[in-house]
Structure formats: C-alpha cells, structure tokens
Structure 1
Amino acid sequence: MTEPFQFPYKYYQAGFLTLAMIATQFGCVSDVITFSEHPKTKFADEIGMAPKKYQHVLALEFAVKEVNENPMILPNVTLGFYIYDSFTNARMTLQNTLKLLSSWKQMVPNFNCDMQNNLMAVIGGHDSEISLYVATLSSIYKIPQIAYCIFAPVRSVKTQLPSFYRTVPNEELQYTGIVHLFLHFHWTWVGIIAADDDDGEKFVQVLRKMLYRNGVCTAFSEKTPVLSHTSEMLQAFESIQTKGRLFTNSKVKVLIVNAEPQTTAWLIWYFYFHSVSEDTALISIGKVWVMTAQWDFSSQSMHRDFDVQIFTGALSFAIHSKEVPEFTNFLQLLHPNSKKEDDFVKVFWEKAFNCLFFDPRELRETSDICTGQEKLENLPGLMFEMSMTGQSYSIYNAVHAIAQALNKMHMFRSKHGKMENRLNTFLRSISFNNSVGDMVSFDENSELGTGLDIINWMTFPNRSFLKVKVGRMDPQALAGQEFTINEEAIAWHTMFNQVLPIAVCNDNCHPGYRKKKKEGEPFCCYDCTPCPDGKISDQKDTDNCFKCPEHQFPNWNQDGCLPKILNFLSFGESLGITLAFLALTFSLLTVLMLGVFIKNKDTPIVKANNQNLTYSLLIALLFCFLCSLLFMGHPQILTCYSRQIAFGIIFTVAVSCVLAKTFTVVLAFKATKPGSRMKKWVGKRLTNSILLGSSLIQVAICVVWLCTAPPFPDLDVHSLAEEVIVECNEGSVTMFYCILGYLGFLALVSFTVAFLARKLPDSFNEAKFITFSMLVFCSVWLSFVPAYLSTKGKSMVAVEIFSILASSAGLLSCIFFPKCYIIILKPELNSRDQIIKKP
C-alpha cells in the first residue's frame, strides 16, 4: 500500500533525548473521497502558511537551546526535537503522529529505530481537535503529551488520557472571565459566533447557560461552517451573504467569538468579501469584538490585503505570558539559509516578506527576490511579533517542564539504579519558576495553574497594531479579586467616540421605573413602567421598586428618598399659637371669674349652691384650660406620663363638682319640704363625699394605667407618607378609654339629674345652667371620639385640645356667665329677697 501524498515540511534537530512537536503552520483541505481513485490529500496553496505561527516553532527551538546551554539541567545530555505539521487536518495529523512514533523517514507502525527510540514527549496541538488526534496515538505508548490548546479534548482527560497535559488554565476560567467582563460593562444583549463542530457546540452551550444565570441574553448564536473539504469551501462562500447579515445587526453591539482558526478564517473571508463589494455599510457599524484566547490576529496570510481596523477596540483573552528578553535577541539572529533542517523557514520568509527565493529551475522572473537580509522587526505585527505570544509562551513552558521532569528522572536513576521510563510520574510533580519568574506546575487536572490576560487591540491603517494588557483573570488571587480590569486603559472603536459601548436589548429603565417583561421576548427585553405609589427605584434597570426607609419618603420622581418632617403640634406654628392663646385666654377669664366670686363671696348668689364647690369648680376649670398646654410641643417622657393623667383627674374633679352641685340643688329643694328627712344630707359632708369618691375612682384607674402600660414617646412612621408623627403612645388604649368612659359616665349622671331638676322653682334652680353645661360637655366629647379616631398626628392632638377647651368653656360659660352677669351688671338682683322669692 502506497503512502498518501507526502508533505515536505518538517524540522529536525539531533539530540540524545528527543522531543516531538505537532505544529500548525499550514492550512489543508481535501477532496471528498469517492473511491473512484486512490485517496490522497491535496494541498491548497491559497490557504497557505500563517507566518505568525512560525513563532511557535522558534519558541520550541529557543527553549531547547536554553535547556542545552544550562549545566544545571540534564548535564551531559542534549535535547533534540522533531517537528511535523498538522495542516489542521485529521488525516495529516494522524499520519504525521505515526511518523513520530515510527522509524526514520518511513511510517511503519509499532516499529521504532534510529534516534526516535529516545522520543520522550510530544508537544501539541494548537486546538483541541488536533490535540485529541495526537493523544489517541501517543497515549497508546504512554508518551506524555503537553498541549497548548485552550479547550481540552472532548474526552475525559483524567480517565481516558492520563498522559495528557496542558500548559494553559482550565477553559472554565475563560467562560468565567467572559461573564465577568459582560457584567462589569453591563452588557446584556450579545451575539455568539462559533464553528459548527464539537468545540463550537460545547462553547455555545456552556457559555449560554452561564450568561443566562448571570442575567445576560444572547441575541443569536451563529455557527460558521468548518472548512475541511473543497465542497465545504464553496458552501462557506455562499453562506457569507446569508449568515453575515445576522451579526452585522446594528442592535447587537457586542459579539463574542470562539476564535479558533476555522471561525476566524470565515470571519476574515466575510469582511474581505464585503470590503471589495458595494455593500460596505454592513461593516462600517462599530462593534465590540470579544475574542477567546485562540485569537492571534494572523490565522490567514490574506491579512496583507485585509483592513484590520474593523477589529480595532477588540478585547481578547490571552494565555498569560511574560516577556522573555533573550527571545527577541534570538529572533534577530534568524537567517533563512542557516537552518538546513528547517523546512518551514523559507516558506515563512516568502510569505512574511512577500518575496521568492531565486530558483534557476523556474523560468518565470520576479522582481521580489528574497535576499535573506530582510529584518523580522520590520514586519507588521499582523505578520509576525518580536515578543513571545501566549501560545509560544505555553510551548516554552512545556519544553522546560519536560526538561525539569527528565532531569528529576535521571537524578532518581543515578541514585536508585536503573528503572523504567516513568516520565509521567515526574511530570505530574514538577514545580519550578521559569526564567521570567512565573511558577510552572500542573494541578489535579494536569493543567497549568496560570491565568488569562485581557488584551485590548488597537489597529492602524498600515496593518500594524498595539496590544495593551487591560485586565487579568487570576484563579490564584484572593476571593473576589480573580477578575481585574482597567477600564480607563481601553481604547474603544472610533464609532463609540471613546464612550463605553452599550449592549442592551432596549434602552435602560431610568430611576423611578422598573422592568416589565415583554411577552415572547428574552428576559433582557422589557418595558419600563413607573414605580407604584409609595415606592422608588434609585438605579437603572431595577426589577422591582422598593419602599424608602421608615424615616424617609419618595420624592416626586420616585427615584430617591427625602427625610420625613417631624409631625407634632408645636407652639411656634399657627395652630399651636391659636390653641395656646385660647387656653391662656380662658384660663385668664377663669381667674377673673374666680376673683369676682372671691370678692363677692358674701353676696347671696355666691353663697347659694355651696360656695366651696363653686371655688373648686373654677379652680378645676382653670387647670383644665392649662392642662391642654401639656399636649403641645415635642412629646417627652414627663409630658406623656402627665398629659392624659392630668386631663383625666382634673376633668373628673370638675365633673364631680358639677355632679355635687346638681345633687345639692335637688337635695336643697327636697329638704325645704315639711317633714323631709333630706335635711341631714344637705351640707359639706355629702358634697365632699361625692367629690372625693368620684375623683378617687379616677385616680385609681390612672394608677393602674401607670403601673401596667404607661404612655411613652413614640414615632409613627407609617400613618403619614411624608411625615414622622412624634406622639405619645397611649401604652394601653383600653385604660385610656376607661378614663374617658368613667368621665362620660359622671357627665351623663350629672346631666340626667340636672335635666330632671330643671323645672324646680327658680329661687333654688341652678339645675338649668348645669343641664345646658352638661349638654354642651357631652356633645363635645361625643363628637370627640369619631374625630379623634379619624385623624393622625398633630390633627389628633388638636382635636383633643379643642375638646378640652370647648367642654371646659361650656361649663364655664353655662354655669358662671349668668352669675357674673348679675354680680357685675345687675347687682340689684344679687339680694336675698331675689334669691328666695317665689315664682
């Protein structure tokens, strides 16, 4: 059986121990096998070599050179290497892997000879699919493989591929980094672009779930075709028009790309196609491209004709790397004619510098002849970088990890005698700092515990670019500090005028509004509705409005809270001044009346109906007027204790005086009848008994109140929307109404007795005045209860004060004004004859 078409590209360097590498330098497509002829792989020159990826080969060569020159690592032992290309093709990868495992220059499976008996490890490949192909064969021979692919192969690495390692962190870190990035910039409406293969499917499924859990919606997830056969290339070109229009949607500003070579190739072809067509409006819309760590900006040589400014402002994740200073010096010494065993260098040179090496066998002439004196540092960054890229840094670390493991293995052999090749055992346990100080060690998943850098790309018209490190995903950082980003260092696409791009399904809901889901739309698409009364939202895009703290209330726009005003009846406000004025006026009037009665104490009208009760009633009314002042001002503990107690006891004394006066009138009339036994009840003993007995009952109620649940200062933050009521909490409402009820009972008894005695002869009758006064008193307090219960805050206090003043004034006016009228204006009526005269 003849071998398939042979590709000449390989790189060999002799050594006692050999490392192998499956690189990815060229593109390759194959015809669909029809079995009409002998199957073979055709090389597609138009895909060609990606010049930038040649740095991967140079990184391995440089790392081997460092190891061989270091006397502390593998002394007296030289490392060599053998490099084949994968051509990003399954058949070519398997074929070249078999060559590494077989004899020199011939593919003979399971037969090794020459220097390849000392093959110690394989490095590669660039993506998970190629890595899986290599691992499928190398694992059979238990040869360690160190890949630098971002995503692990789809198989279970720990169980099915125990000899498989990666010099990159777990892909979960990249998913987490993408989510952190979107949440940091509040991007909730994004598109996903991935290849239509296993890796792309896994990327879309895992990422969409994580985005959904964190409140980010995907506007679309586009699958790009995989270019493995020529027929698929034709289909890919046909899909450029149809699929491309989806992710050029102006509403989708952020696109996350699983930037493995197949997807980036499709993107580049898409934009290249539109850049030479009339439909340039589609690519003029500014986008934020978020690329995964596979992105290297040089997957195709057609970059030479491609306007890379479309990707300016892009953000990409990159394998963490540091600058290795000696590597730049190593690159500057590169010359295409000095490396006889390197089949890649001349192809790289021609592609990079767009020239040809002169070949006498060629009949055609060219004006662009490669001289070999061209300088790598003169190449634009899209073609080649003089600093070590993330993938090259991973290869560099892989070589040093293998060298350290080999060194430990040889030291163990020299100490304990000959043993079998157990490189895997030593590779799992290595831990060292590389030449730039980074720690290199494999974790429990056989992956390097490094992080990811976040890169901002600035591109220029001359196809050069600038990479700026703006953030980091560090799994070894402290909790909460794994993700860091410097937003000020980011240069966005010129379309955004250096303003943070907004990626939302619709405009944000402003403060004062909340989100309302749109039926049939993703949860990131919503309407904005005002907050209900009494609630606010103080941030954009809130799901729910909330109430202000207890001591605050919503402002007019319902986007903030204002401090509530303290609500209490102050002496300084108009209502307080008015009520205080009335209280003092009535108090003064009562004092004047008391003075008049004392001055005329020897007159008949004053002596009538128990002079002492008259004085007691006037003094009680005076205190009734004054006690209303206790209800004004900021409530304090003392005033809360005293206001209702003073009100209850003083009014009880006043009503008890009225009740005693009423009984005095009735008994006085009954006692004048011949043979009446009531004479013994007429006198001070009865009146004092009524007064003291009635008052002591109220005092007892007040003492019980104070001992069980006394009043106390309190704040009512719920009754009024914009005010905090500073009030005296009654403590026990039951006891408060017991005081009012008992007071009402005394008033009702007094009113009843006075009403029954209203028709007694005028000579002895004060009952009419008492009847009217108690009618006013009862009317006021019957009106007080519903009014008191229907008001809040200072209005409630004002109602109680007004009731105190009105009922007290009713007693004062109805009982004492007629007598004062006679004393002052009609003194001739204030005589004994007038008092005892019959009607």
Structure 2
Amino acid sequence: MHILPNTSLGFDLYNVNSNQWDTLEAPFLCLTGTGIMIPNYTCRRQKNVAALLTGATWTASAHIGRLLSLYKYPQVSFGSFDTILSDRRQFSSLYQTAHKDTSLPHGIVLLMLHFNWTWVGLVIMDDHNVAEILSDLRGEMDKNQVCIAFVEMIPDNVSTFIFNSVTNSQIMISTANVVIIYADNEYLSGLILYIDYYLVNWIIWVMKSQWDLSVGKFIFMLDSLHGSLIFAHHHVEFSDFRKFIQTYNPFKYPDDHYLALAWNKHFNCSFSGPDCKILDNCLPNVSLEMLPRNTWEMDMSEESYNVFNAVYAVAHSLHEMIINLVQNRPQGNGEVYTNPWEVIFTFYILRIVL
C-alpha cells in the first residue's frame, strides 16, 4: 500500500530534560511555532503539527500528555508500555506503540528453570507499577519453586542508588549469583553505573529490556555486564533499515548536524563550527557499519521499532483522513488542512479496524 502519495512528512526534534518544567518547554515550543513559550497562541498559520511522538520514558510522556490533552493534540508514545498512560481520563489523546509484557514474568521463570537457577535476586524500580510486577513475578516463581533471595528497590534519585553504602546493598552481600533487573532504560543507566563503580562482575544479570550501550564502558568486553541475558520483544526485521544505515553519511545528508558530529567523533573528520558541515580529513568509504556494536547498533532496536510504528501510525491516519476529505470535497483546490482532533479520530478508527 502506498500512503501519502506525492507528500513528504517533515519533523522537528526537541530535547526533553528530566526536570518537569523543562519537559513542558519542548511541547510548548512545538505548539506555538516560536522560540518562546506562549500558551494558547500559535504562529503556525496553515500547516499544523500532525502529532507529537514522545518517549522514551513514561514520565516524560505523562507530563507532556496532560498538556496535550487540554489542546486535543494527538500524541504517540514510543517508550515501553505503561499502564498509567492507558488511562483515558488523564490522557485522552495519547496512544502507545509498545504492548504490555503479559508473558514476560513467565518467560523469565522458564529461563531460570532451564539453567536450574532457583536462588535469584530481584532489582526492581520503585514506582507505581511495583506492586503489580512483584505480584506477577512472585506468583510465577512460587508456582515453579524459584526462590527470591532479595528484592532491591531502585529509588527515583539515581545518584542515591549509585553511591549507596556497599554494606547496605543486598546485591553485594547476598549469596545469589543470578540477579533479575526489572527496570527500563530510564533507570538502567544508574544501575549500570552502580555495577561499574563497584565492579560487580561475579553475578549473572538477567534484564527485561535492552539497555543503552552508550552509558557503559568503552571496552565492552571488560564490562561487568558482559555476558548478561537480555529479553527483547520479537519484531519483524526490516532489510531496508540496515541498507539505510549502511549508506547514512553526512555527504548524503548534509543538513543532518548530528550525523556530522558523529563523523567527527568516530572518524576524526573535521567540520566547520557554525553550520557543522563536514569539511575534509575523512577516510574514504567509511560508514557506521565499521563501528563496534557497543558504539553503534546496526540492527533495529526495540525503541527504534516503536518509533517506526509511531511514524507509520501517524502517516496511515493522515492518509485515511485525506482520502475521506477528498471524497467528501472533490472540488477542492488540492490542498488539505487538518485539525489535530481529526487525526485523533482517525487513530481511534484505525485501532478498531486493526
């Protein structure tokens, strides 16, 4: 199926910080179309933003979602599934691309049984999902006679967890040689720094999701997490994605400043400061494929797959909406202007159909 023929979707990137006020700054700038935050005002005259894609943390999506619900703006979250984001009373315009991990506790326990690991530790994020997660994991473990040696809670304050006293950490004093880390990327970084700091290299780590390799050591083979077992959602591989990454370079995409910075960092190419355009001193035929996997992953990650689905969900919704508009108003001038609430309605219809 060809969607949005003769149409290109543009995009803007906004950095979202952990501070709640800074988190709301980005959507305000996007909605107003200016360099300053002006609530209830927009400088976008005709072509509005079709939707906002948010992630990767549930907290960022939640903060932004409460704001966008006031304006009935469509929001698609590409982070891990979170039950609270499914609350239509709070987030009337938010949709999640990730699915709930209904079979993950069972899969983790099957892995424990396969290797005969019956005395394991559990590290879990202390948030609104902790009671449900503990209930599911304990239920599966009790049924299969897998015992929990300890439960270590990760607090919201990552620095408190990293520099906690060694003697107070159950990870360090427990006799369990296998530890399940039930946390997402948002808090895995703090835990990985903790493990590196204390050189905890005698434990087999089992993680519920992929983690960002950029937060680890540069020498991955000597990392304390080397050899860890990581669960990942199964998804279809896109051959075109790898081909795209193989040919992705700043000469082909000169307006991509982040790509120029990557070439400067990894291949020592020089670039001009103001516009970040690559100048010279580059080796011929270099590509991201030449970098080690702990620096750049060529395969589509779970988060990338969710971003892919989020973009296509928006594109399909716009496509269906434009078809309906053209059919209902065939004598138009060929230009179609959409309202955000129309995209939300199309999202709803597509979810019912699919």
Identify which of 418, 424, 434 aligns with 2:344.
424
Gaps of 5+ in 1: 1-69, 276-281, 362-368, 431-441, 449-839
2:321–2:343 Cα contact (<8 Å) kept: yes
Gaps of 5+ in 2: 275-279, 330-335
Measured after TM superposition, the shift of residue 200 of structure 1 is 5.4
Number of equivalent positions: 340
Residues 331 and 116 of structure 1: is their aligned pair in 2 closer, same or farther, counting only changes over 3 Å? farther
Residues 89 and 292 of structure 1: is their aligned pair in 2 closer, same or farther, counting only changes over 3 Å? farther
Residues 155 and 75 of structure 1: is their aligned pair in 2 closer, same or farther, counting only changes over 3 Å? closer
Residues 185 and 416 of structure 1: is their aligned pair in 2 closer, same or farther, counting only changes over 3 Å? farther
Identify which of 170, 184, 189 aligns with 1:260.
184
Give the Cα separation in 2 of the matches to 1:347 and 1:210: 47
Give the Cα separation in 1 of the matches to 2:120 and 2:8: 51
Corresponding residue of 1:93: 23
Give the Cα separation in 2 of the matches to 1:103 and 1:118: 9
1:102–1:116 Cα contact (<8 Å) kept: no
Residues 272 and 342 of structure 1: is their aligned pair in 2 closer, same or farther, counting only changes over 3 Å? same
2:85–2:94 Cα contact (<8 Å) kept: no
Name the amino acid aligned to 1:167: T
Partner of 1:194: helix, strand, or coil?
Answer: strand
Identify which of 222, 227, 233 aligns with 2:152.
222
Partner of 1:99: helix, strand, or coil?
Answer: helix
Name the amino acid aligned to 1:328: R
Q: Write out aligned runs for 1:649-668 (5 A).
A: none
Corresponding residue of 1:321: 235
Corresponding residue of 1:311: 225
Name the amino acid aligned to 2:231: F
Give the Cα separation in 2 of the matches to 1:237 and 1:307: 22
1:121 lines up with 2:41 in the alignment = no
Name the amino acid aligned to 2:12: Y
Partner of 1:101: helix, strand, or coil?
Answer: helix
Partner of 1:256: helix, strand, or coil?
Answer: strand
Q: Deviations over 1:779-801 (max 9, x none)?
A: xxxxxxxxxxxxxxxxxxxxxxx
Give the Cα separation in 2 of the matches to 1:372 and 1:226: 44
Identify which of 293, 298, 304 aligns with 2:213.
298
Identify which of 181, 190, 194 aligns with 2:120.
190
Corresponding residue of 1:457: none
2:66–2:90 Cα contact (<8 Å) kept: no
Q: Deviations over 1:530-571 (max 9, x none)?
A: xxxxxxxxxxxxxxxxxxxxxxxxxxxxxxxxxxxxxxxxxx
1:378 lines up with 2:313 in the alignment = no
Corresponding residue of 1:813: none
Corresponding residue of 1:174: 104
Identify which of 72, 79, 82 aligns with 1:149.
79
1:398 lines up with 2:310 in the alignment = yes
Partner of 1:80: helix, strand, or coil?
Answer: coil
Give the Cα separation in 2 of the matches to 1:127 and 1:101: 21
RMSD across aligned C-alpha pairs, in angstroms?
3.4
Residues 415 and 150 of structure 1: is their aligned pair in 2 closer, same or farther, counting only changes over 3 Å? same
1:131–1:153 Cα contact (<8 Å) kept: no
Between the aligned residues of both structures, percent identity stands at 29
1:413 lines up with 2:325 in the alignment = yes
Measured after TM superposition, the shift of residue 97 of structure 1 is 1.6
Measured after TM superposition, the shift of residue 154 of structure 1 is 2.7
1:358–1:370 Cα contact (<8 Å) kept: no
1:125–1:148 Cα contact (<8 Å) kept: yes
Q: Write out aligned runs for 1:420-459 (5 A).
A: 421-430=341-350, 442=351
Corresponding residue of 1:289: 205
Residues 204 and 349 of structure 1: is their aligned pair in 2 closer, same or farther, counting only changes over 3 Å? farther
1:194–1:258 Cα contact (<8 Å) kept: yes
Residues 93 and 211 of structure 1: is their aligned pair in 2 closer, same or farther, counting only changes over 3 Å? farther
Name the amino acid aligned to 1:192: L
Name the amino acid aligned to 2:60: I
Measured after TM superposition, the shift of residue 359 of structure 1 is 6.0
2:188–2:211 Cα contact (<8 Å) kept: no
Corresponding residue of 2:92: 162
Corresponding residue of 1:672: none
Q: Write out aligned runs for 1:219-618 (5 A).
A: 219-227=149-157, 233=159, 235-239=160-164, 241-244=166-169, 246-249=170-173, 251-275=175-199, 283=201, 285=202, 287-293=203-209, 295-300=210-215, 302-305=216-219, 307-308=221-222, 310-336=224-250, 339=253, 341-350=255-264, 353=266, 355=268, 357=270, 371=282, 374-417=286-329, 421-430=341-350, 442=351
Structure with larger Rg: 1
Measured after TM superposition, the shift of residue 205 of structure 1 is 5.2
Identify which of 130, 134, 137 aligns with 1:207.
137
Measured after TM superposition, the shift of residue 125 of structure 1 is 0.7
1:191–1:256 Cα contact (<8 Å) kept: yes
Partner of 2:41: helix, strand, or coil?
Answer: coil
Name the amino acid aligned to 1:378: M
Partner of 2:297: helix, strand, or coil?
Answer: coil
Partner of 1:264: helix, strand, or coil?
Answer: helix
Give the Cα separation in 1 of the matches to 2:97 and 2:249: 29
Q: Deviations over 1:506-529 (max 9, x none)?
A: xxxxxxxxxxxxxxxxxxxxxxxx
Name the amino acid aligned to 1:317: F
Partner of 1:120: helix, strand, or coil?
Answer: coil
Structure having the higher helix fraction is 1
Give the Cα separation in 2 of the matches to 1:410 and 1:266: 45
Measured after TM superposition, the shift of residue 324 of structure 1 is 1.3
1:291–1:315 Cα contact (<8 Å) kept: yes
Name the amino acid aligned to 2:180: I
Select the structure with the greater relative contact order (CA < 8 A; seq sep ≥ 6): 2
Residues 199 and 335 of structure 1: is their aligned pair in 2 closer, same or farther, counting only changes over 3 Å? farther
Corresponding residue of 2:277: none
Measured after TM superposition, the shift of residue 409 of structure 1 is 1.0
Measured after TM superposition, the shift of residue 391 of structure 1 is 1.3
Measured after TM superposition, the shift of residue 422 of structure 1 is 2.0
Measured after TM superposition, the shift of residue 222 of structure 1 is 0.9
1:83 lines up with 2:13 in the alignment = yes
Partner of 2:152: helix, strand, or coil?
Answer: strand
Give the Cα separation in 2 of the matches to 1:81 and 1:274: 42
Residues 336 and 216 of structure 1: is their aligned pair in 2 closer, same or farther, counting only changes over 3 Å? same
Corresponding residue of 2:333: none
Name the amino acid aligned to 2:61: S
Residues 178 and 116 of structure 1: is their aligned pair in 2 closer, same or farther, counting only changes over 3 Å? farther
TM-score, normalised relative to structure 1: 0.37
Measured after TM superposition, the shift of residue 314 of structure 1 is 2.5
Give the Cα separation in 2 of the matches to 1:340 and 1:92: 30
